[in-house]
Amino acid sequence: MLQKVNKLVQNILLSFIMSCSITSIFKATPYTWLKFELLHVPVLFIVMLGLSLLVVEDVRNSFKKVLKFEERKDKRPIWQVGVGMIFYFAQVGSVEVFARGLMVHDLGGMPLYLVISFMNAFLLTVIYEEIFYPKLSNNQTPKIQN
């Protein structure tokens, strides 16, 4: 049951990332019909979210094949990096699509939303791991189902 929730959360966040990426790319175009919003949510985002939910499982499986996830002895490090990247890009995408006004602030030349997203992603990865990573004794190898 917990593994299904893990996969569902990752799939939803990945589809959110994909739809945010496409929406933020087209936000800079001069075409006003691509910028139409419904209750401050871009319609393009809603359409892309629906489409990306259809392909997100294949995207996850292709990344697992490219990174040879199933062949690794210790899957924990690559799992942590993957989950951390999902959290990071979901936060960055949400700022780029829904809160573009926050993109102008910087911290010594580095955009502040990137710094805060990185720190939040680290903390969320630790919390997520505590929830979904199975507790191990000292001599067991980890069993991560992704």
Q: Are strands 41-42 and 106-107 parallel, antiparallel or unpaired?
A: unpaired
Q: Are strands 110-111 and 106-107 parallel, antiparallel or unpaired?
A: antiparallel
Q: Which residue has the higher pLDDT, 127 or 28?
A: 127
pLDDT digits (tens, 9 = 90+) for 35-91: 888 888 999 999 999 999 999 999 999 988 998 888 888 888 888 888 999 999 999
> CA-to-CA distance for 86 and 84, rounded, in angstroms?
5
The residue extents of the domains of the chain are: 2-132
> CA-to-CA distance for 51 and 56, rounded, in angstroms?
9
Q: What is the pTM of this model?
A: 0.84
> CA-to-CA distance for 129 and 103, rounded, in angstroms?
29
Tokens for 70, please give them: 């199933």
Torsion of CA 91, 92, 93, 96, to 10 degrees: 130
Q: Considering the chain, what is the average pLDDT of its residues?
A: 87
